[in-house]
Structure 1
Amino acid sequence: MQTYLVGGAVRDKLLGRPVKDQDWVVVGGTPEQMLAQGYQSVGADFPVFLHPKTKEEYALARIERKIGVGYTGFSCDASSEVSLEDDLMRRDLTINAMAMDDQGNIIDPYNGQQDLKDKLLRHVSDAFVEDPLRVLRVARFAARYHNLGFSIAPETLSLMQTIVANDELTALSAERVWQETARSLMETHPEVYFENLRACGALAVWFPELDVLWGIPNPPKWHPEIDTGIHTMMVLQQAVKLSDKLSVRFAALVHDLGKGVPPEENWPSHRGHETLGLALVNTLCDRLKAPNECRELGLMVSEYHTHIHQAFELKASTILGMLNRCDVWRKPQRFADLLVSCKADARGRTTFENCEYKNADYIWQAYEAAAKVDVKAIVAKGYQGKAIKQQTEQQRISLIQAFKNTFQK
């Protein structure tokens, strides 16, 4: 048996990036030999084993053949006759199809090193089209390595378009789509993921509510970039600068979905888009099986981002109503994330990228003022039932109004 380090670990070593996980391929071995050496079998669809000490994954070299639809419709040959080159050929990109032996020598039958130098994400073979998950994976790699200057090779983008045209993307599970999307959202340039999905037609399949935003105009006075799709990507870029939370970045992505609903005759006005977006956020989250924290913040930002942008014009009672509906008293951190998302929205506009945004501080300080109301003291004065809530509301409104009177823009 011969063992080689393969895939992402080799790629990142060559790029000088930290290696998080190491995967190994075993050539010339059998499951019986692996078990005899103390490896633990964990592969359900093909022979994968955990090293008895390091617990790293060791997979027998294998060849896969397409026999059905989707990313699971494959038969697997992991016999001891499968060569390293055979195994590497089944991989998605040339930069992921390199191996390293125990002497540090690079085995590179498909010119991955040259593509690293050329900063190209290029498919290994035409078998690329057999696995629809690769559309999302390649878009994710484009997002991950964008800051290094990488881009998708035109011929690979063409194959991604072919996969979409063959309706293969619909065979993907929501869990896998969300997994790739969530990982992409946490990259430094998540907008590149969505832009490449749009370029190959995949965005319309899994994110139709987002896909329609391109071409929808905004008022030039407030949005010099005009296009709502472009604005959304700019907001996502700003969210990355402001937060490393998945929920904040997702909320930035979905905050303007409602602009895809109003009739064209009203453009560039989008009156009511805040609440129109709620059903769309829910539909998208249902389709992707997005986690609750992403759904909840996405809904809040969709509904209240205009409130925050108009913060200084809001009455004290309106501010309190928003605080109540956002459940800030029990979940202040989530409300703080709402304000971060709104700041990203304000800055996600051409020429506004570095604008000062006092609205968030203003609303947060209004919350802090209202939070000083002592409910226990109200109860101690003998108020009961609904009267407790009424007194609490009245005192909170008074404190917010007093704060408004003293706040300096």
Structure 2
Amino acid sequence: MFRRRPPLPDFPPGGLLVGGAARDWLRGRDAKDFDWAVAAPEHAARQRADALGGAVFPLDTERGYWRVVAPDGIQHDFVPLPPDVDTDLQRRDFTVNALALTATGTVIDPTGGQRDLRGRRLRMVSAANLRADPLRAWRAARFEVTLGFRMDAATEAAVQQVAHDLAAGTLPAPAWERVRDEMQSLLGHPDAARGVLRLEALGLLALTVPELREGLGLTQGGFHHLDVFHHGIEALHQLLARQPEAPLPLRWATLLHDVGKPRTLARDPDTGRTSFHGHDKVGAALTAQILTRLKLPQGDVAHASALVGAHMLPLPAGEREAKRFVHRRRALLPDLLSVMLADREAARGPSSSPASRHAYARAMNRVLEALEEQPTAPAPLLDGQAIMTLLNLSPGPRVGEAVRALAEARALGEVATPDDARTFLHNWAGRSGH
């Protein structure tokens, strides 16, 4: 059932390959990171760094943990060889990770991990091990997605109990940075939409992105056939079906694009129809809060939030409007189009039809053609100082308005030379009363 096993890497003298790298080798997968248990971690790490031409540094000097990062990005971690390997492996999270390999390919497997690998089963070593580090609950959900395994009943029940106790405050919550790393790994998989549903079923989504759950059971009608919660997950699925390599900020924005709807819900007292006016702006603010809480890089937070805030923009009806759309939203393109298309394709309610989807696709193509025609903003024809001199302006907001007006005219093809720019600005100043 597994692929042909790749060659084993060079083992440090007397060392063991442990954990995920051993698991991946047994499954016939190339490992990206290697964990080594050796008698002298620093010495072994420095030798490996010299052999690979990589960088070496300590992870934990007190415990003797060292890391080597090779030029190709692959990591090698070195930790002290435990006095009792079996006992050490039995402290791990899941049986498929409680494995070690010797240089000759002998497998040390005190918990039956090889049997679980063959059965594609994710089984905890013990409930106590999960509770010793509650982050392992998120890791269980992530492994189901990334390994394609399924938790056995006892493990699923233990994970749900961990989630319950975390919510009750009887277990210490893991650091947000660690939760973020698990979420990013899960969301980075092509089957991430199923992973989000598993987080919900296990009680972990309420501990991670409770705002997303506010859409459960909130029906929409019109173009939509799903409630707000499941529409967001279906949009993520639609995105990844088209762009399996989509960057993480785009994945977050697609999942969260309607997160503002529950807080903007309004019902017409006469017709009972629902509306969500302003949900894009509320959703942008919520997205920023959620991703900041999860400790994502600020650039990713800003980009995802901006995509959510802009996803309701009407698409242009003509070529000129398409050029303006590209000019004004260039920093968000083409990601914004990806969110908008995923949103539309995830909505198959009574108002949706092949004709409406075709019209939407035509409008989107106009934007793509305009973006292809002008992939970068054209160089400015006049700088701010020249504009101030021309219009007799002092530094202030008015200069910025003039710069932006001229830049848009340049992008639309209305001006092409400095003389065109001067004529345009004189006319612009006259129209605006200055």
Cα distance in 2, alignment partners of residues 361 and 52 from structure 1: 43
- For 1:376, which of 370, 381, 387 is the aligned residue? 381
2:381 aligns to what SS in structure 1?
helix
- For 1:282, which of 272, 277, 288 is the aligned residue? 288
- Rate the CA distance shift 1:34–1:19 in 2: closer, same or farther, 3 A: closer
Displacement after TM superposition at 1:252 (Å):
0.9
Cα distance in 2, alignment partners of residues 389 and 111 from structure 1: 66
1:56 matched to which residue of 2?
76
2:114 aligns to what SS in structure 1?
helix
Cα distance in 1, alignment partners of residues 317 and 75 from structure 2: 59
Cα distance in 1, alignment partners of residues 127 and 81 from structure 2: 20
Cα deviation digits, residues 181-224 of structure 1 (max 9, x gap):
122221121223322221122211221111222222121x4223
2:333 matched to which residue of 1?
335
Cα deviation digits, residues 289-339 of structure 1 (max 9, x gap):
2223322222222222121xx314699779848853x4x2xx3xx322211
Deviates more, 1:262-271 or 1:232-241: 262-271
Displacement after TM superposition at 1:389 (Å):
4.6
1:346 matched to which residue of 2?
344
1:67 matched to which residue of 2?
none
1:56 aligns to what SS in structure 2?
strand
Q: Is the 8 A contact 2:96 2:113 kept in 1?
A: yes
Q: Is the 8 A contact 1:143 1:191 kept in 2?
A: no
- Rate the CA distance shift 1:395–1:42 in 2: closer, same or farther, 3 A: closer
1:239 matched to which residue of 2?
239
TM-score between the two structures when normalised by the length of structure 2: 0.71
- Unpaired runs of 5+ in structure 1? 63-79, 400-409
- Rate the CA distance shift 1:10–1:247 in 2: closer, same or farther, 3 A: same
- For 2:365, which of 361, 365, 377 is the aligned residue? 361
Cα deviation digits, residues 363-398 of structure 1 (max 9, x gap):
344567788877417979x95455565455567668
- Give the greater-gyration-radius structure (CA): 2
Cα distance in 1, alignment partners of residues 234 and 302 from structure 2: 22
- Rate the CA distance shift 1:319–1:304 in 2: closer, same or farther, 3 A: farther
Question: Residue type matched to 2:236 in 1?
Answer: L
Q: Is the 8 A contact 2:326 2:333 kept in 1?
A: no
Structure 1 residues 145-294: aligned runs within 5 Å: 145-146=147-148, 150-167=149-166, 171-219=173-221, 221-224=222-225, 226-240=226-240, 241-242=242-243, 243-263=245-265, 265=267, 268-294=274-300
RMSD in angstroms over aligned alpha carbons? 3.7
1:7 matched to which residue of 2?
19
Residue 21 in structure 1 maps to residue 33 in structure 2? yes
Cα deviation digits, residues 125-169 of structure 1 (max 9, x gap):
1222221111121111122123xxx22222212111221222267
Displacement after TM superposition at 1:108 (Å):
1.6
Cα distance in 1, alignment partners of residues 370 and 380 from structure 2: 18
- Rate the CA distance shift 1:316–1:216 in 2: closer, same or farther, 3 A: farther
Question: Residue type matched to 2:181 in 1?
Answer: Q
Deviates more, 1:390-399 or 1:127-136: 390-399
Displacement after TM superposition at 1:233 (Å):
1.4
Question: Residue type matched to 2:79 in 1?
Answer: A
- Rate the CA distance shift 1:152–1:375 in 2: closer, same or farther, 3 A: same
Deviates more, 1:252-261 or 1:242-251: 242-251
Question: Residue type matched to 2:227 in 1?
Answer: D
Cα distance in 1, alignment partners of residues 196 and 284 from structure 2: 21
- Rate the CA distance shift 1:170–1:339 in 2: closer, same or farther, 3 A: farther
- Rate the CA distance shift 1:350–1:141 in 2: closer, same or farther, 3 A: farther
Q: Is the 8 A contact 1:139 1:192 kept in 2?
A: no
Cα deviation digits, residues 211-241 of structure 1 (max 9, x gap):
222222121x4223x1222221121122223
1:403 matched to which residue of 2?
none
- Rate the CA distance shift 1:367–1:227 in 2: closer, same or farther, 3 A: same
Identity %: 27
1:306 aligns to what SS in structure 2?
coil
1:376 aligns to what SS in structure 2?
coil
Cα distance in 2, alignment partners of residues 244 and 51 from structure 1: 29
Cα distance in 2, alignment partners of residues 38 and 233 from structure 1: 43
Cα distance in 2, alignment partners of residues 255 and 305 from structure 1: 7
Cα deviation digits, residues 26-81 of structure 1 (max 9, x gap):
4xx5xxx556778686424633245899983232255xxxxxxxxxxxxxxxxx3x
- Unpaired runs of 5+ in structure 2? 1-12, 47-56, 394-398, 415-434
